[in-house]
Amino acid sequence: MSGFSISWLNLRESADFAARDKTLATKVLEWLGQANDYTSPDRIIVDLGAGTGSTLRALTKLGANNIVWRLVDLDGKLLDEALRRHGKQCLIEDYQADLTITEELPLTGAHIISASALFDLASTAFIDALVNRIDARKTAVYAALNYDGTTTWTPAHPLDEKILAAFNQDQLRDKGFGPALGPQCTNYLQQVLENKGYTVSINPSPWELSAKDEAMTSELISGIASAVSEGYGLTKQEVDDWKTFRLTHVADGHCTIGHWDLLALPG
């Protein structure tokens, strides 16, 4: 168990798909088409922190086919859900493992390593170790939907900034990888990959949440309120006032939350 529920991953999936930068996603598909290795006619994507298979569904919707999906996650229940949904239509190799044991990650034969909504949980030590392994095989990397620390709410509330500052501080808590990079993850990943000679492109992939995302936004507001409720100098009254105001406006308001997608191709 990793703390990410199937219901939360389901809630965010359509916002994630809408947000995903389609230019970079298309380049991923082009890269897979170019990676001609005649001993292995199917393309292998290793999706790290795969959850229930959101990356698989997104790239399949955009045209990926003949892919062997090697899904890696710590949470066996999420992998079972991915298999339940796709195991009869896709070639899936499910692999329950702790990503932090980078030397044991099943990267053999991979044409691309993908991850969605993962790297903001990660630490510098994890990224360094992972990129060392990836670079040894010169495998491409596609990392989508990494939070960048920006959030804009409409209508505004006087506590928005204070709550966001506290939330961004909370993003740096250890999520199992060591101190998390949170909003700095895209910059750090880009720099480490460029230092290894990769050509790295990054494009924004913000969530744009409105009335249609009411259930997800409500869950998000509750999650933010709970994350900032202790240890960041906010009173219970402040957090409760902000949460009540935000929940009152989920259907008539708007929220933009910044993310970035990254594609790194070996030079």
Ligand X SMILES: C[S@@+](CC[C@H](N)C(=O)[O-])C[C@H]1O[C@@H](n2cnc3c(N)ncnc32)[C@H](O)[C@@H]1O
Residue number, 97 or 156, with CB nearest to ligand X: 97
And the tokens for 222?
């509750």
CA angle 80, 205, 84 (to 5 degrees): 10
Sorted by sequence, the CB contacts under 8 Å of residue 134 that are 6+ apart come out as 107, 113, 141
Residue number, 95 or 162, with CB nearest to ligand X: 95
Nearest distance, CB of residue 185 and ligand X, angstroms? 12
Nearest distance, CB of residue 125 and ligand X, angstroms? 12
Nearest distance, CB of residue 13 and ligand X, angstroms? 6
Residue number, 9 or 264, with CB nearest to ligand X: 9
Per the CB < 8 A criterion, the answer to whether 120 and 97 are in contact is no
Nearest distance, CB of residue 236 and ligand X, angstroms? 28
Interacting residues with ligand X (CB under 6 A): 2, 4, 9, 16, 49-51, 54-55, 73-75, 78, 98-100, 116-118, 121, 176
Per the CB < 8 A criterion, the answer to whether 13 and 54 are in contact is yes
Nearest distance, CB of residue 189 and ligand X, angstroms? 15
Per the CB < 8 A criterion, the answer to whether 203 and 260 are in contact is yes
Report how far residue 79's alpha carbon sits from residue 93's, in angstroms, rounded to the nearest whole number.
10
Residue number, 8 or 188, with CB nearest to ligand X: 8
Q: φ and ψ at 173, to 5 degrees?
A: -60, 150
Residue number, 75 or 94, with CB nearest to ligand X: 75
Number of H helices, E strands in the chain: 9, 8
